[in-house]
Structure formats: C-alpha cells, structure tokens
C-alpha cells in the first residue's frame, strides 16, 4: 500500500488564510448558510463552483459516485439533470436517496447534503433542456448514457446524423432525460483549519420543526 505524504510548501508559495466557522457566525437556516458559501465559491474565481459529487447506491447497498453540475436550488431542494437510463438514474429509481458533496478547495470548504430524491416535473426538465447549447442537446440525444458503445467514432457519427436530420428544426427532447431534486434531510458544513482541528457543523430536522444544529469533532 502506498502511503500519501503531506505536501511540502516552498517559502514562496502563498498559503491561503481560511476563515474559521465559529458557532456565532453560523446561520440558523442551512439553506441561507449554503447560499452564502455558494456565492463565496462563485466570487473566488473557481472554474466550476457548481460541480458536485452525487453518491447513489443499489437497493442492496452497492455504492457509486460521480460528478455532475448543480442546476438550481431553493427551499424545495437541489436539482441536477441526467439520463434516467444511466447508472445513477436507474439507482435513484430503485433506491431514491442520494448524498451530495461540494468541495471548494481554494476556500477550504466542503458541504455534504443528504436526503430523498424525486424526478423534477416534465415541464421543468423540458425548460432546462431548451436552455442548453445546441451542441449539448445533440450530445444528450446521441448518447445512450452508461451503455456500452463500439467506439468514440460511433458517438460522433450519431451526433453528425442528428445534426443533419434536424439541421433546420428544433431538436426533439430526449425521451429519457430529465432532472432529479434532492430534498435535504441533513446538511454538514466543513471548514479547513491548518492544525487539522477542522470545523464541522451539522443541521438535522428539529423536534419542533426547523433545524437543530450541532458541532462534530473533526
């Protein structure tokens, strides 16, 4: 087994200063807390602050995880889109629970969100599909996501054929493509500390409504 070694930093390497996550600074509403951190991630210049790992599992507990892009969030939950016939789509149909993980390294922050998942409405999915660039729409139509294909040329040929077929027309909506919304039951906000005594704050449903907060040891 290979052992990971701590990275060495030269004297000329600028080390970021991470703001601690103090109890008095944590918003009592996890959605407002997430919104503030998400805005910070956008302001930091990250190439893709909306990138999020989505973990799913089969009914008998075999896990899988992959990166997707968050496409929206509000009090109803967190939305991402995929092919419903992909591995994650099939797993979410069979076991409709998932976990999200945002990792914003320049800020030393992670956010974990867990909860049940349901499909978005057909209208919401169609609206999002129509908002995508034509090239992205063609790729979604051409790709049988998670299924074996002969080679890349086969995929590129599919895209070319569809582009020619619908050259002067609106592209049809992919039959098995749409959104999922995760409704949070648990949030965890993680803030890096250089001494490894990291901050971890968890929100879970309160007994009388609202959210209960607690701090976890790192």
* 8 Å CB contact between 21 and 189: yes
* 112 included as an active-site residue: no
Beta bridge partners of 79: 72, 181
9, 47, 167, 196: the catalytic one is: 196
Catalogue the active-site residues.
196
């Amino acid at each position: 087994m290979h052992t990971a070694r701590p990275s060495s930093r030269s004297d000329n390497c600028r080390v970021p200063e991470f703001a601690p996550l103090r109890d008095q600074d944590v918003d009592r509403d996890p959605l407002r807390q997430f919104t503030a951190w998400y805005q910070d991630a956008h302001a930091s210049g990250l190439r893709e602050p909306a990138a999020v790992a989505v973990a799913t599992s089969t009914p008998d507990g075999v896990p899988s995880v992959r990166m997707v892009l968050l496409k929206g969030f509000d009090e109803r939950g967190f939305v991402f889109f995929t092919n419903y016939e992909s591995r994650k789509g099939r797993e979410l149909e069979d076991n409709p629970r998932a976990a999200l993980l945002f990792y914003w390294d320049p800020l030393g922050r992670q956010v974990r969100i867990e909860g049940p998942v349901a499909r978005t409405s057909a209208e919401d999915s169609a609206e999002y599909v129509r908002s995508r660039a034509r090239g992205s729409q063609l790729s979604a139509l051409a790709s049988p996501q998670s299924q074996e294909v002969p080679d890349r040329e086969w995929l590129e040929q599919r895209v070319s054929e569809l582009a020619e077929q619908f050259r002067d027309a609106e592209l049809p909506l992919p039959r098995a493509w749409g959104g999922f919304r995760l409704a949070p039951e648990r949030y965890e906000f993680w803030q890096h500390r250089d001494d490894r005594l990291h901050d971890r704050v968890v929100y879970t449903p309160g007994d009388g409504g609202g959210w209960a907060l607690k701090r976890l040891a790192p």
